[in-house]
Copies of this chain bind each other. A is one copy, B any other.
Amino acid sequence: MRFVIIGGDAAGMSAASRAKRNNPEMEVIVLEQTMDVSYSACGMPYNIADAEREMDELIVRKPEVFIKKNHINLLTGHRVDNIDRKSKIITGSKFLNNSESPVKFSFEYDKLLIATGASPILPDLPGIELPQVMILKSLDQGRLIKSYISANNVKQIVIIGMGYIAIEMSEAFRKRGIETILVKPGPEFLPWMARDLAGVVKTEMENNGVDLKTGYFVKNIVSKDKGVSVECEKLSLNADMVFVAMGVKPLSNIAKDAGLELGISDAISVDKQLLTSDKDIYAAGDCADAFDVITKQKCWVPLALRANRAGWAVADNVCGKSVSLEGIVATSVFKAFSLEIARSGLNLEQAIKAGFDPVENTVKTRSRAHGHPGSTTIYISMVGDRKTGRLLGAQMVGKEGVAHRINAIAVALHNHMSVKGFSGTDLAYAPPFSPVWDPLLTAANQLLKKL
Residues of A in contact with B (beta carbons under 8 Å apart): 10, 39-40, 42-43, 46-47, 50, 53, 57-60, 293, 303-306, 308-309, 325-335, 340, 342, 344, 369-373, 401, 403-408, 410-412, 414-415, 417, 421-422, 424-434, 436-438, 440-441
Contacts and interface: CB of A to CB of B under 8 A. Distances in A.
Given A53-B373, A332-B429, 9 more contacts: A42-B429, A43-B370, A47-B371, A305-B441, A309-B424, A344-B426, A411-B412, A414-B425, A415-B415
Contacts of A404: 401, 403-405, 407-408, 428, 433-434
> Which of A39, A426, A430, A433: most chain B Cβ within 10 A?
A426
A370 B58 contact: yes
A417 B411 contact: yes
B403 A331 contact: no
Nearest to A343: B428
Please tell me how many copies of the chain the complex holds. 2
A43 B431 CA distance: 6
A344 B369 CA distance: 20
A404 B430 CA distance: 10
Contact of A431 (B42, B59, B303, B430): B42
Contacts of A43: 369-372, 431
Q: Which 6 A-B pairs have the closest CB atoms?
A: A407-B408, A403-B433, A415-B415, A333-B428, A404-B404, A58-B371
A431 B335 CA distance: 9
Contacts of A46: 372-373, 431-432
A430 B44 CA distance: 11
Given A10-B436, A408-B411, A433-B403, A372 B40 contact: yes
A42 B330 CA distance: 36
20 contacts: A40-B369, A42-B369, A43-B372, A46-B432, A58-B370, A58-B371, A60-B370, A305-B436, A330-B426, A331-B428, A332-B428, A332-B429, A340-B433, A401-B403, A403-B433, A404-B433, A407-B425, A407-B428, A407-B438, A411-B411
Nearest to A367: B404
B308 A436 contact: yes
B428 A406 contact: yes
A312 B363 CA distance: 20
A414 B421 contact: yes
